[in-house]
Amino acid sequence: MAQLFPERLIDGYRNFRENRLPLENNRLKLLANHGQRPKIMLIGCCDSRVSPEVIFDTAPGEIFVVRNVANLVPPFEQAGEYHGTSAALEFAVIALKVKHIVVMGHGRCGGVHAALNESDPLSHSDFIGQWMSIMDNLAAEVRNDVNVPEALKAKELEHRAVQLSLQNLLSFPWVRSAHDAGELSLHGAWFDVSEGELHILNSKDEKFYSV
C-alpha cells in the first residue's frame, strides 16, 4: 500500500509557494545560476526544536548548515569509511571558503543527557552511543565534578561539548591553516530552548554570555 506524503509538509510547501517564494524568487534564481556563496557555516544539533534558519532568521544561501546528534565535531582522522560531518566541513572550508564556523549547542539536548547519564542503547547497533563516545571523557569529568550542582550538570556538559568541538575543529589541517592565516574565525554558541535566548562563548574567559 502506497504511503501518503506527510500532509503537514504539503501544507507548508503550499504556504511557501504562496507567501515566501514571491519574496525569495529573485534570490533563488540567482543562487541557482551562480551557486551558493555563504560566509558562515553552522554546526548544530539535529534536535527539531533548534532550527538555525529560524533562530537566525536567514534567507536561502546565507548559512551552510550541518546538523548531527549533539552538534559534535569529531577529531580529524582518516580511518573508516563514512564521515558526514567531516565531509561537510571539508566542503565548507575548502570549496565554499566560509569565513566563520559557528558551533551551536542547546539546552535540554537528548544526546548530552544520554552521555551524562550513561543511558542504555536504543538499538543493538548503538549508533548514538558510538557517536557520543567522542565526548566520553568530557561526560565523565562533568559527572564527577563536585563543583557543579547536579541540576546544572547537563547545561555544563552542553557548554563543554561546544568547546570540545571547537578544539576538534582545529585538528583538521585545512581548518587550522585557514584559522592561523586569519581567514577563518571559530565561534561557540548555546541556545536556551525554553527562553528562546542565545548565548555566545567569549573566547577570553571561556564563558557563555546572553546576547
Among 191, 208, 210, smallest CA distance to 55 is for 191
Q: DSSP letter at 151? A: G
Report, as an integer, the average pLDDT of 112-141: 94
Q: Are 191 and 50 in contact (CB under 8 A)?
A: yes
Q: Are 138 and 161 in contact (CB under 8 A)?
A: yes
Instruction: Write out the three cell numbers for 142.
Output: 562533568
pTM (predicted TM-score): 0.96
Q: Are 63 and 40 in contact (CB under 8 A)?
A: yes
The model's pLDDT over 60-119, given as tens digits with 9 standing for 90+, comes to 999 999 999 999 999 999 887 889 999 999 999 999 999 999 999 999 999 999 999 998
Report, as an integer, the average pLDDT of 17-22: 97
Q: Where are the domains of the chain?
A: 1-35, 37-210
Residue 204 CA: distances (Å) to CA of 37, 89, 200, 201, 211: 30, 25, 12, 9, 16
CATH topology for 37-210 is: Beta-carbonic Anhydrase; Chain A (3.40.1050)
